Structure 1
Amino acid sequence: MELSVKDVGDVTVATVVGSIDGLTAGALQDALEEQVRGGRTRLAVDFSAVDYTSSAGLRTLLAVVKEARRAGGDFRLGAVRPDVNRVLEISGFTGILKLFPGIDDAVASYGR
C-alpha cells in the first residue's frame, strides 16, 4: 500500500494505491489521523487504485471518519472500484461513508 497526500484548497486529498489489509491498515490510519491532528480535517480519499480492503481496512476507515468528524471535519471517498464498493455495501459502510464517483466530486462536495 502506498499513500500520497496533497492539499487542494482547504481539502486534503489522499491517494491510496494497493491493498488495505492487516499489514497496511495501521500505517494508513496513522497517516490519515496525523493529517486530522495537524488541522487538516476535510479529507477526500482517492480509492481508484485500491484493489482490496479487509476488515482491518474497514476499521481504519471507521476510525478516521470518527476522528475527522470529532474535529469538525469530514471524510469522503472518491472513485471506489466496484469490488471494493461491494465490500463497503455488504458491511454497511455505505451508510457511514460519503462516496463519490470521482475524487474531484469528493473534493467539490465540500463546497456545497
Structure 2
Amino acid sequence: MEITSSELKRCVLVNINGRIDGSSAPEMEQALKALMDSGHYRLVLDIGGVTFLSSAGIRVLVSTWKTVRRFNRGDLRLANVPPRISEVLDLTGLNDHFAQFSSNVEAVGSF
C-alpha cells in the first residue's frame, strides 16, 4: 500500500493506492493519525487506486471519521471510490456516513 498526502488551502488530500487489509491498515491508521495530531481535521481520501478493503480498513475509516467530526472540527470525504469499494461500504451500511465524490476537485470543493 502507498500513501501520499498534500496540504491544500481547504483540506488535506490523501492518496491511497493498493490493498487495505489487516497488514496495511495499521500503516494507514498511523498516517491519518499523524495528520490529525498535527491539527488537520478536514480530510479527503482519494481511494481510486484501492483494490481491496478489509474489515480492518473499514475500522480505520470509521475511527478516523469519528475523530475528525468530534467537536465539529472537520469531516472525512471519499473521492474516486471504485465500484467494488462502494459495494463494500453499501453492504456495511456506511455509504450514508461517508460523503463520496467522483473527483478530487469536487471533494475538495465541498469544504
Deviations 1:12-47 (A, max 9, x none): 000000010000111101111210111111000101
Runs of 4+ in 1 over 6 A off after TM superposition: none
Equivalent pairs: percent with the same residue? Answer: 33
How many residue pairs get aligned? The number is 110
Are the counterparts in 1 of residues 68 and 74 from structure 2 also a CA contact under 8 Å? yes
Q: Which runs of 5+ in 2 are unaligned?
A: none
Are the counterparts in 1 of residues 44 and 76 from structure 2 also a CA contact under 8 Å? yes
CA distance in 2, matches of 1:104, 1:33: 24
1:1-112 correspondence to structure 2 within 5 Å: 1-70=1-70, 72-110=73-111
- Tell me the CA shift for residue 101 of structure 1: 1.1
What TM-score do you get using the length of structure 2 for normalisation? 0.95
Worse-superposed segment, 17-26 or 94-103:
94-103
Are the counterparts in 1 of residues 10 and 108 from structure 2 also a CA contact under 8 Å? no
Question: What is the identity, as a one-letter code, of the residue corresponding to 1:47?
Answer: I
What is the DSSP-based 3-state SS (H/G/I as helix, E as strand, rest coil) of the residue aligned with 1:70?
helix
Are the counterparts in 2 of residues 33 and 67 from structure 1 also a CA contact under 8 Å? no
CA distance in 1, matches of 2:26, 2:101: 24
Are the counterparts in 2 of residues 36 and 68 from structure 1 also a CA contact under 8 Å? yes
- Tell me the CA shift for residue 7 of structure 1: 1.0
CA distance in 2, matches of 1:103, 1:58: 21
Worse-superposed segment, 91-100 or 15-24:
91-100
CA distance in 2, matches of 1:70, 1:97: 15
